[in-house]
Structure 1
């Protein structure tokens, strides 16, 4: 108050407002919150200052905050952040920002951790490889607290990195990538491998089956042979197709007697390699060399009895 001692006395009152920048009250605010997945969670942030600070929330990674009922926001203003039915997607760092137009604004980092049992998924549950080659098995897991991740072999024994086996685990937050590399695959390596993840809330397992395939085999048809016959009208020679043609209605194939060739159309060596004589199977004069992939089949019950088709058209063969 300002006063002048005059007659009459005069005075003037004034008011002074002091502006104070915001200050977050740590004892009244959350710091690290741990909650089980599916439950509700509340984060709190209080601050002092003059004028009274405004509290804003946002995710540190810049993502949206899921508030339930389809409400997703980048920023929300409130001293209390309530999230219903929290999930692992809510996990992360949240920033509580206090501002009142008096610089500087201040913020507090609050960590939200969501606990849940391990889950896993496998990109490829069936993996094929030839003996002597390398193969990699992959498995992805999610868990919090972080799970213990390991591989088991065909006998159920835990696999450690040694010799021909390399076990790799790469973690990123609550996610983990597991990889098992087997070098120089041997016959005893074929079978089912287990991928497991375990923490205090549960355990989960997956299976990857490794099976054998043979390397590519090459099948060569013999060179075509021409047999001559004399035309009764011109006296010229024209080719005659030998062997029995497997005739279908409207196929346009000729017919004749089957040639006596030595050996069957399909043969198997003691080491399991199967050879097909394409000429004997299809009886065509101009059959080109064929290259086709082949897997080791089960025991062949019976060779093909008969086939039919149109020349130059595609054909399918089945073995049982």
Structure 2
């Protein structure tokens, strides 16, 4: 009986060995997706079975370029010579643990644990490694826009990073967006019909919770026809005194500005001095100084502005007054005159005396 039992055990062991030898190698466990911060450490585990006669390797797989995968280890030894990589093998569980320290952005990707059966036959399992990266705005995003008033405009903003960043739009000083509200969310900001009030700086903001986020300034320039305004359409001044006629011009591109009287375009000479003061790309203040006024210089003056989108004009009337108006009769440092306040005051006082004297004589 004892001999029979020994024989039975021997036969059973023989068939067990045959059965084991017929089993295919398998991967029983692979780590789940790993999400790590830059500079952190990640461990990737791969447990295998029935691999006594086969090699187990770790590879980083390039899914974009076929055949561009990077071998990292074979068996229990590293192939890749990088001090940040290490490999541990636990024979009790047949587990290969790949460790990567000081993780960089370039370490993100797909890692494959493979059992090499033959050149054309292998068993594999994959794990994704994602590295948290602060957002960045792609170069194919809008940088600036030049559009004519009334046209549609579209601005685009694309960003990368991990987790995928969210995009929002804002205006300088939190001004209201043409779409309504102070914030718009989405990769594309559309304005169906742009107005000159929509010009200015827009911000594309990308945020994903990593770092402080990033933003890009987008300059929106709206071309529009000139708009001319005058604050004082009628001005009086006494003979032989100077007077300043002023108008304000709003336009983009910057317009050509002229002053006219009786259909004649004026220029700088002994009778007139024209000055332009650009306070911004779209705003210009222009002043026509009428010098030592003569009778023929009273009348209507036109302030005209023109650019490629149109023209605009406004009139300023200069009429005769008895008492000199100060300024500019009392002098102004704006034009670099050497007149002093005391001299101008004296001149004004004498003019008043003369006016009173003439009026008195006229009544007698």
TM-score range, shorter chain: 0.5 to 0.7
**Residue in 1 aligned with 2:4?**
none
CA distance in 2, matches of 1:192, 1:164: 16
Quick check: 206-215 or 136-145, which moved more? Answer: 206-215
TM normalised by structure 1 equals 0.62
**Residue in 1 aligned with 2:320?**
212
| Counterpart mapping for 1:193-272 below 5 A | 193-215=301-323, 217-218=355-356
**Residue in 2 aligned with 1:138?**
246
1:156 correspondence with 2:263: yes
**Structure 1 vs Structure 2 CA RMSD:** 2.6
**Residue in 2 aligned with 1:252?**
none
Q: How far is the alpha carbon of 1:63 from its aligned partner?
A: 4.1
8 Å Cα contact 1:40/1:83 also seen in 2: yes
CA distance in 2, matches of 1:204, 1:14: 68
Q: How far is the alpha carbon of 1:176 from its aligned partner?
A: 1.3
8 Å Cα contact 1:66/1:83 also seen in 2: no
**Residue in 1 aligned with 2:175?**
64
| Counterpart mapping for 1:1-320 below 5 A | 1-3=45-47, 4-6=90-92, 9=94, 16-27=129-140, 29-60=141-172, 62-68=173-179, 71-73=180-182, 75-103=183-211, 105-152=213-260, 154-171=261-278, 172-215=280-323, 217-218=355-356, 275-276=362-363
CA distance in 2, matches of 1:15, 1:143: 56
Q: How far is the alpha carbon of 1:121 from its aligned partner?
A: 1.1
CA distance in 1, matches of 2:207, 2:243: 57
Q: Which has the higher helix share?
A: 2
Q: Which has the higher strand share?
A: 2
CA distance in 1, matches of 2:255, 2:318: 25
Q: How far is the alpha carbon of 1:18 from its aligned partner?
A: 0.9
Q: Relative to 1, partners in 2 of residues 1:192 and 1:78: Cα closer, same or farther, differing over 3 Å?
A: same
**Residue in 2 aligned with 1:234?**
none
Gaps of 5+ in 1: 220-268, 278-320
SS at match of 2:197: helix
Q: Relative to 1, partners in 2 of residues 1:184 and 1:205: Cα closer, same or farther, differing over 3 Å?
A: same
CA distance in 2, matches of 1:274, 1:79: 81
TM normalised by structure 2 equals 0.55
Q: How far is the alpha carbon of 1:48 from its aligned partner?
A: 0.9
CA distance in 1, matches of 2:299, 2:212: 64
Q: How far is the alpha carbon of 1:65 from its aligned partner?
A: 2.9
8 Å Cα contact 2:199/2:222 also seen in 1: yes
**Residue in 2 aligned with 1:287?**
none
Q: Relative to 1, partners in 2 of residues 1:63 and 1:168: Cα closer, same or farther, differing over 3 Å?
A: farther
SS at match of 2:285: strand
CA distance in 2, matches of 1:110, 1:274: 71
CA distance in 2, matches of 1:107, 1:59: 12
Gaps of 5+ in 2: 1-44, 48-89, 98-125, 324-351
8 Å Cα contact 2:171/2:177 also seen in 1: no
CA distance in 1, matches of 2:188, 2:361: 74
Q: How far is the alpha carbon of 1:126 from its aligned partner?
A: 1.4
Q: How far is the alpha carbon of 1:59 from its aligned partner?
A: 2.1
SS at match of 1:81: strand
Q: How far is the alpha carbon of 1:17 from its aligned partner?
A: 2.6
Point out the structure with max Rg over C-alpha.
Answer: 2
Q: Relative to 1, partners in 2 of residues 1:15 and 1:201: Cα closer, same or farther, differing over 3 Å?
A: closer
Q: Relative to 1, partners in 2 of residues 1:160 and 1:63: Cα closer, same or farther, differing over 3 Å?
A: farther
Q: How far is the alpha carbon of 1:276 from its aligned partner?
A: 2.4
